[in-house]
Amino acid sequence: MLNANKADDLSLVNRLKKGDASAFEEILLKHEDRIYNVCRYMLGNEDDADDAAQDTFIKAYRNLSDFRPDSSLYTWLYRIAVNTCLDYKKRPFFAAIFKATREDDEVVRELPSNEPSPERLYESKQTGHALRAGLKQLSEKFRAILILKEIEELSYEEIADVLDISIGTVKSRISRARKELKQQMKKIMEQK
C-alpha cells in the first residue's frame, strides 16, 4: 500500500528540489498524521509529540539533499522522527520539565465491537493503560521497533531501513521486545 505512493513521493521531492515550495506542503499533508502518531507513541504526550513532529519536517526540509531516491520518503521521515524523539528523551532536565505537560494522556485501545459492555470497556481500558505503561518501561530501541511494527505496521525490510539495521537484527529485536513487553505488562497487571 505504501509502496504505491513511492513514485508520487519522489515526484514531490523532485519538485521541492527544483524550488516548488507547494510540494513541501503536499508532503506535509500526506505524511503529517503518521509522523505525529509515531512521535505520540514514542514520547507519550501531545505537546512533545507535536513539537517533535514539527522538528521532523523542518529537519527533512533542510536536509533534503540527504534523501536517497532509492529510499522511500516515508521511511526516511520515520527515521528522522525516531531520531528526533530519541533526542527529545535526552533533553536537559529543566527543558524536559518545562515542556512536558500532560504525560501519557489517553493512549487507549478502541474496541472492535461497536457496543461494548461496561465490563469489556473497563477491561479494555485497563489493558490499554497496561500497554501504555508497559511500552513506557521498554528501552528506546524496543519501544521504537514495536511502534513501527505494531502501530505503523511496517514490514521488516522497511523497519530495517528506518532504523538502519539488518533484517536479522529486526527479527531478533522484535522477538525480544515482545518478550520484554509481556514481562512488563505482567508486572503492571500484578501491581493492580
Partner 1 sequence: MRCKKAKVLISPYIDGELSEGERESFESHMKDCGNCRAEFEETRNVHNLFTGAERFGANYGFTTRVLANLETKTRRKELLVPLFTRFVGVVAVLMIIGIGIVSGRFIGRSFSFQKPGNIATFFPLDTFNATPPDSVGGVYLAMTEAGNEK
Contacts with partner 1 by CB under 8 A lie at 24-25, 28-29, 32-33, 35-37, 40-41, 46, 49-50, 53-54, 57-58, 61-62, 106-112, 127-128, 131, 146, 149-151, 155-156, 171-172, 174-175, 178-179, 181-182, 185
The separation between the first and the last C-alpha atoms of the chain, rounded to the nearest angstrom, is: 41
Taking the least distance from each CB to partner 1, the nearer of 110 and 119 is 110
CA distances to 4, 55, 111, 163, 173 from 140, in Å: 30, 19, 27, 12, 12
Taking the least distance from each CB to partner 1, the nearer of 86 and 111 is 111
DSSP letter assigned to residue 45 = S
Say how far apart CA 1 and CA 132 lie, in whole Å: 28
Per residue, the 3-state secondary structure of 77-146, as one string, reads HHHHHHHHHHHHHCCCHHHHHHHCCCCCCCCCCCCCCCCCCHHHHHHHHHHHHHHHHHHHHCCHHHHHHH
Q: How far is the CB of 40 from partner 1 (least distance, A)?
A: 4
Taking the least distance from each CB to partner 1, the nearer of 72 and 81 is 81
Taking the least distance from each CB to partner 1, the nearer of 83 and 155 is 155
Q: How far is the CB of 100 from partner 1 (least distance, A)?
A: 17
Q: How far is the CB of 151 from partner 1 (least distance, A)?
A: 6
Taking the least distance from each CB to partner 1, the nearer of 82 and 181 is 181
Taking the least distance from each CB to partner 1, the nearer of 32 and 79 is 32
SS3 of 1, please?
coil
Task: Using CB atoms within 10 Å of the CB of residue 56, give its burial: 0 to 12 exposed, 13 to 18 middle, 19+ buried.
Answer: buried
Q: How far is the CB of 129 from partner 1 (least distance, A)?
A: 12
Q: How far is the CB of 99 from partner 1 (least distance, A)?
A: 15
Q: How far is the CB of 68 from partner 1 (least distance, A)?
A: 22
Say how far apart CA 16 and CA 60 lie, in whole Å: 11
